Structure formats: structure tokens, C-alpha cells
Amino acid sequence: MVSNLIKIKSKKELLNMNEIDMHPEEEIEEMLWNNKILSDIYLLNRQVPSYDGSKKIDILGLDNDNNIVIIEVKDEEADEDVILQVMRYAFWVETNPDSVKSLYLEKKDKEEGFGFEWNQKSNIRILIVAPSFTEDVRKLISRVKYNIELIELKKFNDGESDLIFINQIETEENPSYKPSVLRYTGEYGEEFYKTQRNEIAVPQFMKVVEMMESYLKQKGWNLKRKQNQSYIAFKSGFPIVCGVEWIGSKSFALFFKVPKEISDRININNSSIEKYDYSERWNQIDYKIISLDFLNMKEFDALFEASYKNITGK
């Protein structure tokens, strides 16, 4: 089924943007590799040989939750055959962790500050990227032991520019998925962080998260809160807009997904925070919190606006 994207230019003018088929799969793979569409994943390598070398993983990466990430790309509707395919890749990754580690060690442009705990067993996260999925795929992924995410990716054109639509498909809870690394059996949050971070800093971290969430709601933005072991983010569909992240056992920072040239133009003058770092790989600026005295998210309004526009286009 061909999709249409409608842009309302004015009350009297509509612009109909037609979907453009993307073929071959290598074109989609290259787009994911060269752009920061999968913004929470550190991409390691493309076309990674598995087994006898005849079967290759489209893209292999890592994330901040200590997951090894398998990305499988399809240029047509994905059917149930893709489930068996990615399960084979996942089994190979599970039984060959040293091969994945070697890819990381051999990578020349390593991201500073990206910490992956190679000394512990990792979980596996699978992303299947396709323009659409059959109903059987949605049903079957809740019956396998791996964490599988379905990412709908479409391209449109308005006559001048290409527009990319990306959406994480909601699926049933997977009762078969049990992470192999379980430091904490509940949701990532205050109790979990107390097992990993300074106990005094944890309530402060959570307070700042609640402040940010309250501020985003006041803005009227429909962003979904996502909690994991190293940060709490606010997402627009699949991509992250902003959040609060740990940068040490006691310290944490606000982060915003904006291009570097925009972050350089925005200055926040407040002695309670400091501009900490800009990550080209993660396309984000961090502001380390020195003291909770700042307690006014409105001072960051320019960054909130810039990151929201950068991710959503609004």
C-alpha cells in the first residue's frame, strides 16, 4: 500500500507528498549509516559476516544500555521469514562476543565517553527496519526470546526535498524476553539508580527529570518518557529530543539533540550549570548540573525549542 503525506501550507493550500520506494536495501542501509537517524545507537560496522561468512548482518552497533544491536534492513514489506533470519544473527552474536568486541577495538573513530562493559554478558537488541510489516511479524516477535523492535521507515518528496518518516511500531509485551543481565528486576528509575550511583545524587537526578517532564508538558509537546540505565530521555516517536543523563556516579547533565552550530550560538548564563561537552556522534550538547539552585527549565527554552524543531521539524 502506497502512503501519502499531506502538508498543510495554508487554509486553502495542501501539498500532497507521495511516497518514494527505496531500492535496493543497500540504499536504506547507507542512509542509516551516514545519517544520525538511529540517534541512540553507536554504529560499529556494516555487512558483518556471520557463520561461514555467507550470511551478513546489515549493521551492527552498541547502545548505552549495554546492548549489542543488530539492525536488519528490508526494502519491501517484512514478513515472518525475517524473524528466523534475525534470530540466527542473534545466536551468532551470543556465541561470538569477542568478534563484536574486536570490531569495536579496531574502530578508529571511537566515541569519547561511550562506556560499554565488555567484562559482563551483554543483552541483544534487534531492530528490523522496513516500509511495512505483515501482521504475522507483529504476532511472532512476542514469542521469541530476543528484544525485537519494528521500525517503519518511509521516504516522501515535496518536489524539492526528501522527507523521512520513521516510526516505532507498537507491539504486544514480549513475555519470552528475559534479559541475560539483570542487576535490578524492576523498572529503570530511582531504586535501580541507587544500586549504581551515589544515593544522595539519585533523588536530585530524579527531581530534575520531573522538572523537565513538567516543563515539556507545559509546552504542549507530546513526548514519551523513556528510562534506561544511564539516562532518562523524552522521545518523539522513535528519536530522542532531550533528557537527563548520568556522566559519573555523582554527576549528571541535561542533554539536547541539536546540531553543533546551533548549540554554539545558544549561551546559558547560570553559575549552577556548565557547558560540559558536545558529542558529534550523538548530535547532542550536555550541560552539567553543578547545583540545583538553577531549578528553572525556562532558562533552557532556546535549547528545548531547537532540539524539538531539530527532531520533529515543528
279: Cβ contacts below 8 Å, ≥ 6 apart:
111, 112, 113, 286
Q: Give backbone dihedrals phi and psi of 138, rounded to 5 degrees, phi first.
A: -60, -35
Closest by CA position to 101, among listed 73, 121, 71, 72? 121
Looking up residue 35, the CATH number of its domain turns out to be: 3.40.1350.10
Residues 148 and 224 in one domain: no
How much is the pLDDT for 172?
66
Same-domain check for residues 145 and 243: no
- The yes-or-no verdict on residue 143 having pLDDT over 60 is yes
pLDDT for 119 beyond 70: yes
Do residues 124 and 195 share a domain?
A: no
Same domain, 156 and 102: yes
Helix (H) or strand (E) holding 308: helix 301-312
Mode of pairing for the β-strands spanning 55-63 and 41-50:
antiparallel
Q: Are residues 29 and 130 in the same domain?
A: yes
Q: How many domains does the chain have?
A: 2
Whether residue 181 lies inside any domain: the answer is no
Co-location of 111 and 225 in the same domain: no
178 is a domain residue:
no
148 and 204 together in one domain: no
Q: What angle do CA 3, 162, 239 make, to 5 degrees?
A: 80
Q: Is the pLDDT of residue 258 over 90?
A: yes
Does some domain include residue 173? no
Which of the pair, 56 or 280, is modelled with greater confidence?
56
Average pLDDT of the residues in 97-119: 81
* Peptide bond just before 179 cis, omega within 30 deg: no
Q: Identify any residues that bridge with 96 across adjacent strands, giving them in sequence order.
A: none
Instruction: Check whether 226 has a pLDDT greater than 80.
Output: yes
Say if residue 164 is in the same domain as residue 244.
Answer: no
Last residue of a domain, one of 134, 168, 202: 168
Same domain for 306 and 214:
yes
Domain housing 263: 190-312
Instruction: State which amino acid sits at residue 83.
Output: I
Q: Are 208 and 145 in the same domain?
A: no
Please list, in sequence order, all residues whose beta carbon lies within 8 angstroms of the beta carbon of residue 52, skipping any fewer than 6 positions away. Answer: none
> Cβ contacts of residue 264 below 8 Å, gap of 6+?
none
In terms of domains, do 102 and 208 share one? no
What CA–CA distance (Å, rounded) separates 309 from 303? 10
Considering the domain architecture, whether residues 254 and 304 belong to the same structural domain is answered as yes
For residue 79, what are the CA distances in angstroms to 54, 84, 132, 148?
21, 10, 9, 14
Q: What is the pLDDT of residues 147-189, one digit of tens each?
A: 999 999 999 887 788 888 888 887 766 655 555 544 333 467 8
| Residue from 57, 234, 76, 9 nearest 244 by CA | 234
Whether residue 110 contacts residue 279, with contact meaning beta carbons closer than 8 Å, is answered with no
**Separation CA 304–CA 257 (nearest Å):** 9
In the predicted model, is pLDDT for residue 74 greater than 90?
Answer: yes
If 0-12 CB within 10 Å is exposed, 13-18 middle and 19+ buried, where does residue 16 land? exposed
